[in-house]
Structure 1
């Protein structure tokens, strides 16, 4: 594999794309260490240490640790993701947006433009909320996180964080256009994997102090590789519905009967369900940190990761959002109509309504299997942290994103190599699990 990736740099344009993406990621990681002015860094670090397991912790994961230090990239790419999801849902809810999405490249560019505007609006709102929250935060000894609160600090924070989010959005678009892979996904990927060296160092520190045995660490490492292999297997898993096309006349030619298939992925919803589920459940725990009322804080503690109530609600919300998001993104009626218009049919199933009912039934079973798979991966971190006292977050949304982005990037690299017909690289090498 190492020799295979060395051959990537023998193709000039592919080498240029890879180096450009790496350079943009380096710029992003540098920005994650530039602090926002007016913050007491030590008091803020102590506050985040006490706020582990809340919504702030999840946002900090997506920002690559920038939120914990409140750097210029503290908001990360989350406003852009939220704006993209909102417009994707509006495509189903609002006829005007749906019509715009069907206008081809022009409509797609218009939706992207609206998504950018939505990103800026969300970033301004979130930055202002963070500035207000920071002024109310205090460290363990009662020291203020913001020594000089006021409108000057609020405006400075809003401008700084909004500009940081806009710059990250620009970086992601530049990487998608001039680099390799999806730029936004690679930025999230970089933020997640940036924590791995620290986590490994903490693990060895626990071994030296006797809090973690070497045998348990090796056992956990084996479980990690097994889980990653299972995630790769499930993410590539799909049910292929056979589609047969009868003879038809195209222009002056008669096209013979053909066979194809309709791929239905096991995990149609991707990482959206755990993100939504975590956001909903962790919101009360986050609010509880700002409300000094005993019963409110007691209730918020029951919704912290590792608690039975949290795990039950987490799995229930994941199952719900798996079905909801799949229903939003895949319409069996439209698919069945398109297959019928093209002269295709599923063997043994009548075209039209029976085909749509068949696709809906198959998709329902696949979605259930995908929901169970996502739930198992997302509950795994709580088990490892609670039972083995691991110093890092393994599994869940971070693992799904990391594996998914890695597979997508390798697929794009392979597509470039196949386009160039670089047989010397592809011979005897399989980076995508092709049969």
Structure 2
């Protein structure tokens, strides 16, 4: 009886801990959404809303990640993307350089702290680059900035960089004290914030007769089909049967069909934002007509925009997967564990076998991302609707839900034990 009471007490304590973590997560997300609606000083909101409607190709690239944070030029207008980009870049360096990787691993806690400090420094550098470019570009628009000069650039840069660091801290707090991964939750809140608006817009269009009920129903079926496809691909695995070198056991090695996840879209999205930061310097060397032509060419719906986005997705997906699933490292890991592929000698032959499979996985993952992200944009743009449910939003929502499902399953299994 005492043992049973202890088990029940532990279960109750675990349940209370989960509730507290969920409550903390909800509170942190509400704080994030509040910051997305607080504009920075020095901006005429009427002039910005008018300009935002005319620069969909550039401004919406930032709003694509910001959940209207960029549309309002808020404290969190740069979102957490600079930090994610910096973290991916540092990860690339660690994976690509054996010397850096060995130093980070051999240093233990000190090595991890060094990586954290370098990541934060690079985050500030990227955020400052974007902030200065965006502030400069805004000052070029007549009537948009209420007080001109270096003071506005410095103020806006400090606020936006502080906003990025605040989001990094908030994500860390959610991971440590909340339920789930903090960065995933911030991306989830960003993506999910646009879904109610799209739903309300479609309902209003049906009510006014602009959109027929049949068309709305078909759109719903298309969205459900895309979500089902994304779930199927995200859960798909490429299985490798491995066996002990001494022949006394077998196991399975599972690799995701889309091993890069949403990382290529984040990197590609940041790459699409780089021209925004370069516009002030470009305007110094081109005429106003040429600058307008550049902005128009970057508008979603243009062929150049879709081609550039697709190329960025393919390149980042292939490169990231190649570094993430390095065949040589996989083969070495199997050798250290005393495992090998059936009928394949350890070492270089195993690495060659993995290289063939990883190359096919990276290509399949890249094409999948292009179809989901670029394909959905082309689909909604062809319908001429005033809203669009982006493939990136669907990927983020599905990935976050699947991660939470896995975490809850792990927690439930641990509690049963």
Once the two structures are overlaid, the 10-residue window that deviates more, 81-90 or 227-236, is 81-90
Structure 1 residues 88 and 323: alpha-carbon distance in aligned structure 2, compared to 1, 3 A threshold: same
Question: Which of residues 363, 382, 386 in structure 1 aligns to 2:381?
Answer: 386
Match of 1:128, SS state, is helix
State the match for 1:67 in structure 2: 70
Gaps of 5+ in 1: 1-6, 139-143, 248-255, 423-435
Match of 2:251, SS state, is strand
Deviations 1:333-363 (A, max 9, x none): 1211221232211112121111111111111
Deviations 1:107-163 (A, max 9, x none): 22331232122223332332222222221124xxxxx11121123222222222222
Once the two structures are overlaid, the 10-residue window that deviates more, 123-132 or 184-193, is 123-132
Shift of 1:310: 3.5
State the match for 2:213 in structure 1: 214
CA distance in 1: counterparts of 2:30 and 2:116, whole angstroms: 25
Question: Which of residues 242, 249, 252 in structure 2 aligns to 1:261?
Answer: 252
CA distance in 1: counterparts of 2:374 and 2:16, whole angstroms: 44
CA contact (8 A) 1:174 1:183 kept: yes
Structure 1 residues 70 and 51: alpha-carbon distance in aligned structure 2, compared to 1, 3 A threshold: same
Structure 1 residues 24 and 421: alpha-carbon distance in aligned structure 2, compared to 1, 3 A threshold: same
CA contact (8 A) 2:191 2:393 kept: yes
Matches within 5 A, 1:235-254: 235-247=234-246
Using the size of structure 2 for normalisation, the TM-score is: 0.88
CA contact (8 A) 2:322 2:358 kept: no
Question: Which of residues 86, 90, 97 in structure 1 aligns to 2:93?
Answer: 90
CA distance in 1: counterparts of 2:272 and 2:166, whole angstroms: 30
Question: Which of residues 7, 29, 32 in structure 2 aligns to 1:28?
Answer: 32
Shift of 1:303: 4.4
Shift of 1:13: 1.1
CA contact (8 A) 1:127 1:161 kept: yes
Gaps of 5+ in 2: 1-10
State the match for 1:376 in structure 2: 371
State the match for 2:393 in structure 1: 398
Shift of 1:93: 4.3
Match of 2:41, SS state, is coil
Structure 1 residues 159 and 276: alpha-carbon distance in aligned structure 2, compared to 1, 3 A threshold: closer
Match of 2:57, SS state, is coil
Using the size of structure 1 for normalisation, the TM-score is: 0.85
Matches within 5 A, 1:228-377: 228-247=227-246, 257-280=248-271, 291=283, 293-298=288-293, 300-377=295-372
- Name whichever structure is richer in helix by fraction: 2
CA contact (8 A) 2:322 2:362 kept: no
Match of 2:243, SS state, is strand
RMSD across aligned C-alpha pairs, in angstroms? 2.6
Q: Does 2:56 align with 1:52?
A: yes
CA distance in 2: counterparts of 1:227 and 1:369, whole angstroms: 17
Q: Does 2:100 align with 1:100?
A: no
Structure 1 residues 282 and 67: alpha-carbon distance in aligned structure 2, compared to 1, 3 A threshold: closer
State the match for 2:180 in structure 1: 181
Deviations 1:351-392 (A, max 9, x none): 111111111111112222222211110122333322222332
Structure scoring higher RCO (CA < 8 A, sep ≥ 6) equals 2
